[in-house]
Structure 1
């Protein structure tokens, strides 16, 4: 077992926004461990996946 090592973990988190609706975001944390215990977060970043939402006005047919 190493004394000091770095580990990267990824989780998918679901976030709700009023304008965009439900979003899935991938959260990645890079942490530094000492004897198996995390003691410092080196970097944390999110990547959001979303698609364009259609509004009701765009779906209406004007005849």
Structure 2
């Protein structure tokens, strides 16, 4: 693991915990995020992205 990877934060979708580095299997993690605070808001970010993509698809007639 590189130094950069050890400094990044991830949100664990299974446990709801914020992790630094690769603490859990990749299937359970989303990220990376630059800060612990950003990672703690991962679900909020995912919901916002999903809503935006759905709106974009609806506007495109999909």
| TM-score (norm. length: structure 1) | 0.21
Structure with max Cα Rg: 1
The structure that is strand-richer by fraction is: 1
The structure that is helix-richer by fraction is: 2
